[in-house]
């Protein structure tokens, strides 16, 4: 069975990573990909391995909407076709690069690495807070030396907040004790975990003015192939449920994109809709999230090493695994269907 789902949209980069003069190299799903922008701003994603002698194209140069390999000078246009070979008039049709469908939605650049005929940009989830005047945030990225599914597992079971993030996001065992509500969607799962009568996390204490116990909530959709859209917050337990005065509300967009079987790109942000004119608040939230995700990174990379050292040992499920088990089952079903589907053969028009 294939390791990765191909017919879906993956986050490939933040928009600022691909500037007008940029040749960005990034390995995705085990494939080396070159990214650059055409003069109209459209992002091009093509195989980074020149089909001639397999030199990396990101070591080449951008020429208008084309890229030239700086080994023997082959020049490719944005469709992947070779349009120039120094010293050679006839260019063989096979001298071309694979080009992948891309889409830019708000601040993320997406790539479709499967059958281009199936690329449907309506499948891209709504990351509204990436471009909304009522929210402030900073873009972030981490590289994990572990399989992408271990990160998915981590995000689908927030009980780990009580322990991995005891001094950052957690602060109380109440989170682990609260049972999540899990609902399966067509291409993902929906998880809700309300936590009542607990203590605010350390970074909540720095941002708010809470006295006594608080209620916290985590509501999120986790979309295939690894996109988390999180609504979270904290408010005083003493206030009615519908009274959000004094509450701290957050929205987070996070994307997991496999690099290889055992390494992963992680794009993330944590937006806030309070004290929007205070850059210190935005910076503090960003730094708190990074510290917490580095805690995740440390334990997940250690987990990967344990798995590598004893691959025959099975994992034993607990009740808290409900969300991740449903998601893994869904992803496995989609990968299985994809591997059994017949390839779409493009029709080639007959020249009269």
User: Are residues 191 and 199 in contact, defined by beta-carbon separation less than 8 angstroms?
Assistant: no
Find the Cα–Cα–Cα–Cα dihedral 28, 11, 3, 337, rounded to 10°: -130
Whether residue 349 has pLDDT greater than 60: no
Mean predicted lDDT score pLDDT of the chain: 90
344 pLDDT band (50/70/90 cuts)? Answer: very low
pLDDT for res 243 = 83
What proportion of the chain, given as a percentage, has pLDDT over 90? 72
User: Are residues 244 and 231 in contact, defined by beta-carbon separation less than 8 angstroms?
Assistant: no
Which SS3 state, helix, strand or coil, does residue 128 take?
A: helix
Place of tokens 């005083």: 236
User: What pTM was computed for the model?
Assistant: 0.91
Mean per-residue pLDDT, 46-70: 97
pLDDT for res 348 = 41
Residues in CB range of 126: below 8 A, 6 or more apart: 229
161 or 315, greater pLDDT: 315
In angstroms, rounded to a whole number, what is the distance separating the alpha carbons of residues 93 and 114? 22
Residue 279: exposure state from Cβ atoms within 10 A (0-12, 13-18, ≥19): exposed
pLDDT for res 168 = 67
pLDDT for res 288 = 87
**β-pairing verdict for 214-223 and 227-236:** antiparallel
Q: What is the pLDDT of residues 116-174, one digit of tens each?
A: 999 999 999 999 999 999 999 999 999 999 999 999 998 998 676 666 666 666 656 66
299 pLDDT band (50/70/90 cuts)? Answer: very high
Mean per-residue pLDDT, 275-304: 92
Mean per-residue pLDDT, 166-194: 79
pLDDT for res 342 = 61
pLDDT for res 333 = 95
pLDDT for res 305 = 95
DSSP state, residue 56: B
| The two three-digit tokens of residue 301, written as one number | 């990379």
Whether residue 81 has pLDDT greater than 70: yes
Q: What is the pLDDT of residues 92-132, one digit of tens each?
A: 999 999 999 999 999 999 999 999 999 999 999 999 999 99
In angstroms, rounded to a whole number, what is the distance separating the alpha carbons of residues 113 and 119? 9
315 pLDDT band (50/70/90 cuts)? Answer: confident
Domains, in order of start, for the chain? 9-122 (2.102.10.10), 127-336 (3.90.380.10)
Whether residue 204 has pLDDT greater than 90: no
Q: What is the pLDDT of residues 212-261, one digit of tens each?
A: 899 999 999 999 999 999 999 999 998 888 888 889 999 999 999 999 99
pLDDT for res 351 = 36
DSSP line for 270-282: EEE-SSTT-HHHH
Whether residue 345 has pLDDT greater than 50: no
pLDDT for res 347 = 41
352 pLDDT band (50/70/90 cuts)? Answer: very low
Length of the chain: 352
């Amino acid at each position: 069975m294939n390791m990765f789902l191909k017919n879906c949209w993956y986050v490939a980069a933040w928009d600022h990573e691909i500037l007008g003069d940029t040749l960005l190299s990034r390995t995705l799903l085990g494939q080396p990909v070159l990214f650059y922008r055409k003069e109209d701003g459209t992002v091009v994603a093509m195989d980074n391995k020149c089909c001639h002698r397999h030199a990396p194209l990101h070591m080449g140069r951008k020429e208008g909407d084309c890229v030239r390999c700086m080994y023997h000078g082959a020049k490719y246009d944005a469709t992947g076709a070779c349009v120039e070979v120094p010293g050679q008039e006839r260019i063989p049709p096979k001298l071309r690069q694979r080009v992948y469908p891309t889409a830019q939605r708000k601040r993320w650049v997406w790539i479709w690495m499967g059958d281009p005929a199936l690329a449907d940009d309506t499948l891209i989830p709504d990351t509204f807070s990436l471009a909304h005047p009522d929210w402030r945030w900073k873009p972030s990225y981490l590289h994990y030396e572990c399989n992408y599914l271990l990160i998915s597992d981590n995000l689908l079971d927030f009980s780990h907040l009580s322990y991995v993030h005891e001094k950052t996001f957690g602060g109380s065992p109440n989170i682990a004790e609260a049972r999540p509500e899990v609902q399966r969607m067509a291409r993902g799962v929906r998880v809700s975990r309300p936590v009542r009568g607990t203590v605010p996390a350390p970074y909540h204490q720095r941002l708010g003015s809470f006295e006594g116990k608080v209620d916290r909530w985590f509501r999120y959709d986790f979309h295939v192939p690894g996109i988390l859209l999180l609504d979270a917050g904290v408010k005083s337990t003493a206030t009615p449920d519908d009274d959000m005065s004094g509450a701290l509300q957050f929205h987070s967009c996070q994307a997991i994109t496999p690099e290889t079987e055992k390494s992963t790109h992680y794009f993330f942000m944590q937006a806030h809709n309070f004290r929007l004119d205070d850059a210190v608040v935005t910076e503090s939230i960003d730094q708190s999230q990074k510290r917490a995700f580095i805690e995740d990174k440390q334990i997940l990379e250690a987990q990967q090493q344990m798995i590598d050292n004893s691959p025959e040992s099975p994992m034993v499920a607990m009740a808290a695994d409900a969300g991740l088990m449903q998601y893994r089952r869904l992803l496995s079903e989609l990968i299985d269907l994809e591997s059994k589907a017949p390839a779409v053969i493009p029709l080639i028009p007959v020249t009269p």
